[in-house]
């Protein structure tokens, strides 16, 4: 008897998600939930930021559709980047869970070794047996090549679980931008410098860097033209000052998310003064990914160091994890 089973044809998407996780962690908890009543309650976000028809949103569900979810929450070893992924149960061909919630530790590196070599046109099944919960069972089959079956028993890890954490993305500006354009820009700029400055107001997003022999600037305008970005502004009633946000980031962490451009056409960038920058990606198989990257210290040109918290102060309310 299975206590959990899920089946999907989206093997390439699962491979991409695994690659993204592997860039920052080697293990992760999968929180499998049987019934989530209303959307993704893990993430609180600013209203109206992602209202654009080509940004992927969860599909509407009827009464017979699975309301389950698989959630993954990770933080890298340097505490610079957090990743939160939710895959909706109705995106799977089969999604069955016996208990209300079940958590299992996944060896990300080992799973990637398996999934990168399987038939991407096949069907992936994941299951956990009630009488052997020490393993997650994976199997890939292809209806057109039934003589070929690839199976893997992956030993479950004991990963500390960050129970019921929530991410609050209550930010000032939300930028809807072509995912490939943004990530290609950041990838190109790494040739010249380790750090980039991201500046944004209600009319444009600018990415600049200063290298040893040259300075570079990339501008994305919100001018209403065909390929323009869209910028949503959450107005502050207590001030009439124009909104300008300027933050410094290590390109290493932004470029860890380069593969995310394969998940969706458009992404959303949430920005707030002196705070973490969040990326939101829709997942084509139906899900969402949030990635938070802490800004680098401008004065010391360095990343966050847990042993030197005074050199990096973003404020207590910048990232909130709620129980």
Digit-coded pLDDT (tens) for 254-270: 999 999 999 999 999 99
Q: In degrees, to the nearest 5, what angle opens at C-alpha 184 toward C-alphas 179 and 186?
A: 100
Q: State how far the alpha carbon of 172 is from the alpha carbons of 58, 187, 236, 301, 323, in Å.
A: 24, 26, 8, 25, 24
Which residue would you say has higher pLDDT here, 65 or 204?
Answer: 204
Torsion sign, CA atoms 112, 114, 118, 122: negative
Domain 2-155, CATH: 3.10.150.10
Among 17-21, 102-106, 169-173, 198-202, which stretch is predicted with the lowest mean pLDDT?
Answer: 169-173
What's the distance, CA 298 to chain centroid? 25
pLDDT at 44: 54
Minimal CA–CA distance to 27: which of 84, 75, 71? 75
pLDDT at 310: 33
End-to-end Cα spacing for the chain: 33
Taking only the tens place, the pLDDT of each residue in 123-166 is 999 999 999 999 999 999 998 887 889 999 999 999 877 655 66
pLDDT at 169: 62
Residues 165 and 323: their CA atoms lie apart, in Å, by: 6
DSSP 3-state of 137: strand
* Mean pLDDT, all residues of the chain: 84
Domain 169-308, CATH: 3.70.10.10
pLDDT at 138: 98
- Please state, as a whole number, how many other Cβ atoms lie within 10 Å of the Cβ of residue 241: 7
pTM attached to this predicted model: 0.82
Which residue bears the tokens 């096949």?
A: 122
Residues 38 and 177: their CA atoms lie apart, in Å, by: 27
What's the distance, CA 277 to chain centroid? 12
CB-count burial class (<10 Å; 0-12, 13-18, 19+) for 216: middle
Residues 131 and 126: their CA atoms lie apart, in Å, by: 16
Residues 187 and 302: their CA atoms lie apart, in Å, by: 20
Minimal CA–CA distance to 257: which of 118, 53, 76, 12? 76
- What is the crossing angle of helices 11-22 and 108-115, to 10°? 140
Residues 103 and 88: their CA atoms lie apart, in Å, by: 16
| Residue 56 · residue 264 · CB < 8 Å | yes
Whether 8 shows a pLDDT value over 70: the answer reads: yes
pLDDT at 163: 57
Question: Which residues neighbour 94 within 8 Å (Cβ) at sequence distance 6 or greater?
Answer: 5, 6, 7, 125
Minimal CA–CA distance to 126: which of 90, 161, 98, 151? 151
Mean pLDDT over residues 2-17, rounded? 96
pLDDT at 89: 94
Domain boundaries along the sequence of the chain? 2-155, 169-308
pLDDT at 26: 94
Taking only the tens place, the pLDDT of each residue in 169-221 is 678 999 999 999 999 999 999 999 999 999 999 999 999 999 999 999 999 99
Largest CA distance in the chain: 68
Which residue would you say has higher pLDDT here, 164 or 104?
Answer: 104
Whether 98 shows a pLDDT value over 90: the answer reads: yes
pLDDT at 16: 94
């Amino acid at each position: 008897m299975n206590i959990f089973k899920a089946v999907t044809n989206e093997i390439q998407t699962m491979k991409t998600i695994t690659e993204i996780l592997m860039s920052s962690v080697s293990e992760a908890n999968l929180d499998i939930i049987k019934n989530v009543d209303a959307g993704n309650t893990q993430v609180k976000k600013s209203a109206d930021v992602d209202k654009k028809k080509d940004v992927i949103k969860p599909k509407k569900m009827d009464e017979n559709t699975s309301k389950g979810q698989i959630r993954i929450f990770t933080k890298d070893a340097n505490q610079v980047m957090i990743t939160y992924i939710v895959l909706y149960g109705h995106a799977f061909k089969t999604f069955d869970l016996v208990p209300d919630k079940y958590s299992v530790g996944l060896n990300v590196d080992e799973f990637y070794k398996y999934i990168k070599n399987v038939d991407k046109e096949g069907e992936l099944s994941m299951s956990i047996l009630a009488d052997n919960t020490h393993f997650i069972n994976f199997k890939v089959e292809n209806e057109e090549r039934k003589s070929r079956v690839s199976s893997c028993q992956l030993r479950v890890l004991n990963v500390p679980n960050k129970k019921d954490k929530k991410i609050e993305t209550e930010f000032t500006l939300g930028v809807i931008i072509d995912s490939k354009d943004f990530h290609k820009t950041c990838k190109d700029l790494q040739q010249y410098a380790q750090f980039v400055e991201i500046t944004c107001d209600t009319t444009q997003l600018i990415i600049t860097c200063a290298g040893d022999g040259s300075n570079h600037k990339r501008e994305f305008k919100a001018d209403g033209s065909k390929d323009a970005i869209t910028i949503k502004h959450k107005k502050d009633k207590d001030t009439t000052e124009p909104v300008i946000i300027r933050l410094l980031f290590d390109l290493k962490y932004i470029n860890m998310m380069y593969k995310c451009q394969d998940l969706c056409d458009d992404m959303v960038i949430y920005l707030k003064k002196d705070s973490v920058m969040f990326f939101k990606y829709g997942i084509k198989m139906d899900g969402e990914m949030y990635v938070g990257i802490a800004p680098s210290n401008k004065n010391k040109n360095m990343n966050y160091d847990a042993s030197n918290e005074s050199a990096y102060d973003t404020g207590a309310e910048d990232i909130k994890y709620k129980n």
